[in-house]
Structure 1
Amino acid sequence: MMRRMNNLVTLFTAASAFFFGSFITKILSTVDKCPTHRSGVGAQLEHHPDLFLIVLVLSSPRNVDHRNTMRSTWLRYVEQPLALPYFPEEQIYLPTYYANGHLMAERVESQRKRLRQYINWQGSISTRSSRKTQRGIRVKHFFAIGTGQMSRDLHAELQNEHMQHNDLLLLQKHPETYHNLTEKLLQSLDTLTQRYEFSYLIKVDDDTYVKLDSLLNELVSYDRKLLRNAVEYGNDPLPQLYWGYFSGRSKIKTKGRWKESNYYLSKNYLPYALGGGYVLSRKLCEYIANSSHMLSPYASEDVSVGTWLAPFRHIYRWHDPRFDTAYISRKCKPYHLVLHKCSQERMKKINDGKLCSTDTSPSSLPEYYYDWMKVADQCCDNLVE
């Protein structure tokens, strides 16, 4: 009798241990996969598993006229098939690794050569009839707007706008303030990585114009070349793209709305892509979204992104003079792909092809190539001629 009782106790203990262990394992695996639930998105988002690019526009609630101008100009290409002469892959730079395992940064000579090649290629396709290739890639855009602490009337206006266009990312937990932009970006990335499968994301402001067809054309060629050469990276991780116009000598703000109270890493901000527009590959978006509860938020969302990604050895920081993304615009040039600080009128002129060919205004901001081989203070002295 005693032996039987002992057997029952042993069996019960083993069964309890098994189920308890399974329960804990389930919890841990759920936590590992669990989204951070930062977003609180108001409008329902449909599942879209095969997007190539997401266009994320950080927009202010009352900037409906800006949003409509973007919809009627460069965002029209979201719905149209990409049809351009295929961008030549021989002009695509793919970084390789040093023996110590760090990804090589592109040198100034290579940046200069590639810009010259692009200008020549751009001229050649405009002066002769080139065969256009249609590619079945899919693009989707969102205007991210915080609706926390918003009046009922304004919220109703945004809901009506979303019903009409189906392109608003309404963030219920986000109060729309200048001091909350980093949290707004985090919530947006969290929501989009949860709901959508995509390859790349471009973050822009609602006063940015993107020559979307040209940017897509080159990004597709880059992506194809990278995947075709993936085996050459061996045991090293595949490079992850961070594409924009970088600065490494920006002084840390000590006053004003961008004042930084917690930036102690260096005397300047760590290198980051200027905020008018930059491209991130999906894995970088996932890392930021999944690690957001451990990352230090800074006043500038774009400084934050550069700082968060600084330690990684496998990020390809593609500095591109064709991104005019600083706090004031440079002189518009035909080779620019992304242009910041655009009024509605300027967007319409660029879209009609009238501005970059006739813009003779002086610019107080010189264009430069980024010298990754030098310390940050000396990064940006090689000017684009």
Structure 2
Amino acid sequence: MGGVIGSKHQKGGGGGVSVRWVSLFCISSFCLGVFIVNRLWDVPDPMELDEDASARHHHRELLPAANCEKKETPIHAGDILDQVSQTHDVIMTLDRTISSLEMQLAAARAAKSHNQEESLMVSKPNAGPFKERQKAFFVMGIITAFSSRKRRDSIRETWMPRGEELRKLEKEKGVVMRFVIGHSATPGGVLDRAIDAEEKQHNDFLRLDHVEGYHELSTKTQVYFSTAVSLWDADFYIKVDDDVHVNPGMLGSTLARHRSKSRIYMGCMKSGPVLTQTGVKYHEPEYWKFGEEGNKYFRHATGQLYAISKDLATYISVNRHILHRYANEDVSLGSWFIGLDVEHVDDRTLCCGTPPDCEWKAQAGNPCAASFDWSCSGICKSVERMDEVHQHCGEGDGAVWHSNF
């Protein structure tokens, strides 16, 4: 075939190149190209190759050593748990700090709101400007009524300091005591003027923007805590009836044991029956909310005396317009906390009996913070018997000054 093609070229062109010469020329060109490329390509120095190989080998030797060092210091499970615990403590501390700041903000708002409400009312002549809240350890509000002048006097003559002693107790020990009362349905009437005269004589009242009435005790309690929070920055706020004997020093020592806790609800806890019969004392008109007939109330502190911490008093102040009020004020207070993260402290030194019960306990080394008769929901005939109870069960007039708060 090749010969045929060559002959054709010779015939047509005269002097064409044969296929064999073309093939030979291509093979020669390929060999020449390979030869030139091999000559021009850089050939690595053998020493450099050795150094590079040595470096790679050295690198491989270092990696296992590093891994071995990690294996020699394993992370133990206990170390991880310690770190988790420390992190949890930090988070809890931050949570408490944030909660405290929120409550301080809420208290400031409540104080501002209370101040604005007071500015809308008729103020007394020469009234000074609004002042910052006074610091205190505890504020004790003694709930009283217009008709209870003799009860108040029996307390002033026994366990409650008077005059300069009362002011000194506030400044030096942070203990604030006030009789708590609102106003009559006809402000400025005889009843209100009588309280004004008594206040001028003793200066130991906390007057509320509240209309007095037996069936308004839940509202009065709510207004009391809201008002107290706006006036005093205290660790605890206490409510006590005016027919109960109190040892302020012992009460302060009891509260001091819980000072580091933020949400404390302290008293003698109980869970009495929900009374459905109309016309009986402590009847609950909303008995149906507590389930079947014969059910009991949730646990709550008896109304003669209970204490709540600052956060809870602030909570009441901030939410006072939406907190439901039942017929009985101690039930109402308990209901406000039942859905909150609150520590219920059942302390039986807050509900001792009158002599000889409180006397026996004092002799046994368990002095009482408060005493009353369960049968009377207070001291029976308290006006006549308050001095007797004080003589047998009182802690002594100077005890509150020597107590460590």
TM-score normalized with structure 2 length: 0.57
- In the alignment, the residues of structure 1 paired with residue 220 and residue 117 of structure 2 have an alpha-carbon distance, to the nearest angstrom, of 9
The match for 1:336 is 368
Q: 1:193 to 1:41 in 2, by over 3 A?
A: farther
- In the alignment, the residues of structure 2 paired with residue 46 and residue 65 of structure 1 have an alpha-carbon distance, to the nearest angstrom, of 33
Q: 1:147 to 1:61 in 2, by over 3 A?
A: same
Matching residue within 130, 154, 161 for 1:69? 154
User: What do residues 250-293 of structure 1 show as CA deviations (whole Å, max 9, x unaligned)?
Assistant: 33453235322224044321111000101111111111121111
Higher mean alpha-carbon deviation, 243-252 vs 271-280, is at 243-252
Task: Report the count of equivalent residues.
Answer: 260
The structure with more radius of gyration: 2
Secondary structure in 1 aligned to 2:180?
strand
- In the alignment, the residues of structure 2 paired with residue 291 and residue 302 of structure 1 have an alpha-carbon distance, to the nearest angstrom, of 17
Shift of 1:302: 0.8
The match for 2:166 is 79
- In the alignment, the residues of structure 2 paired with residue 163 and residue 180 of structure 1 have an alpha-carbon distance, to the nearest angstrom, of 26
Secondary structure in 1 aligned to 2:303?
coil
1:254 aligns with 2:254: no
Shift of 1:76: 1.7
Shift of 1:186: 1.2
1:56 aligns with 2:141: yes
Secondary structure in 2 aligned to 1:349?
helix
Instruction: Indicate if the aligned counterparts of 1:198 and 1:282 stay in contact, CA closer than 8 A.
Output: yes
Higher mean alpha-carbon deviation, 38-47 vs 141-150, is at 38-47
User: What do residues 350-374 of structure 1 show as CA deviations (whole Å, max 9, x unaligned)?
Assistant: 2223699xxxxxxxxxxxxxxxxxx
Q: Give runs of aligned pairs for residues 319-334 of structure 1, distance below 5 A.
A: 319-324=346-351, 331-333=357-359, 334=362
Instruction: Indicate if the aligned counterparts of 2:226 and 2:317 stay in contact, CA closer than 8 A.
Output: yes
User: What do residues 26-66 of structure 1 show as CA deviations (whole Å, max 9, x unaligned)?
Assistant: xxx9x976637889798879755211110111101121111
Shift of 1:208: 1.0
Shift of 1:160: 0.9
- In the alignment, the residues of structure 2 paired with residue 260 and residue 50 of structure 1 have an alpha-carbon distance, to the nearest angstrom, of 38
Higher mean alpha-carbon deviation, 47-56 vs 135-144, is at 135-144
- In the alignment, the residues of structure 2 paired with residue 336 and residue 41 of structure 1 have an alpha-carbon distance, to the nearest angstrom, of 43
Instruction: Indicate if the aligned counterparts of 1:324 and 1:330 stay in contact, CA closer than 8 A.
Output: no
Counterpart residue identity of residue 113, structure 2: P
User: What do residues 283-323 of structure 1 show as CA deviations (whole Å, max 9, x unaligned)?
Assistant: 1111112111111110111110011101112x221111222
- In the alignment, the residues of structure 1 paired with residue 305 and residue 394 of structure 2 have an alpha-carbon distance, to the nearest angstrom, of 20
Q: 1:355 to 1:171 in 2, by over 3 A?
A: closer
Shift of 1:148: 3.1
The match for 1:318 is 345
Secondary structure in 1 aligned to 2:392?
coil
Matching residue within 335, 354, 369 for 1:307? 335
The match for 1:348 is 387
Counterpart residue identity of residue 340, structure 2: F
The match for 2:179 is 143
Instruction: Indicate if the aligned counterparts of 1:146 and 1:170 stay in contact, CA closer than 8 A.
Output: yes
The match for 1:183 is 219
Counterpart residue identity of residue 79, structure 1: L
Instruction: Indicate if the aligned counterparts of 1:148 and 1:171 stay in contact, CA closer than 8 A.
Output: no
The match for 2:113 is 35
Shift of 1:70: 1.0
Instruction: Indicate if the aligned counterparts of 1:245 and 1:325 stay in contact, CA closer than 8 A.
Output: no
Higher strand share: 1
The match for 1:164 is 201
The match for 1:242 is 265
Q: Give runs of aligned pairs for residues 264-275 of structure 1, distance below 5 A.
A: 264-266=289-291, 267-275=295-303
Higher helix share: 2
Unaligned runs of 5+ in 2: 1-105, 373-377, 396-405
Q: 1:331 to 1:80 in 2, by over 3 A?
A: farther
Q: 1:329 to 1:169 in 2, by over 3 A?
A: farther
Counterpart residue identity of residue 73, structure 1: T
Q: Give runs of aligned pairs for residues 214-225 of structure 1, distance below 5 A.
A: 214-223=250-259
Matching residue within 323, 327, 346 for 1:295? 323
- In the alignment, the residues of structure 2 paired with residue 311 and residue 61 of structure 1 have an alpha-carbon distance, to the nearest angstrom, of 35
Counterpart residue identity of residue 339, structure 1: S
Higher mean alpha-carbon deviation, 32-41 vs 253-262, is at 32-41
- In the alignment, the residues of structure 1 paired with residue 250 and residue 167 of structure 2 have an alpha-carbon distance, to the nearest angstrom, of 13
Instruction: Indicate if the aligned counterparts of 2:154 and 2:386 stay in contact, CA closer than 8 A.
Output: yes
Identity %: 24
Secondary structure in 1 aligned to 2:348?
coil
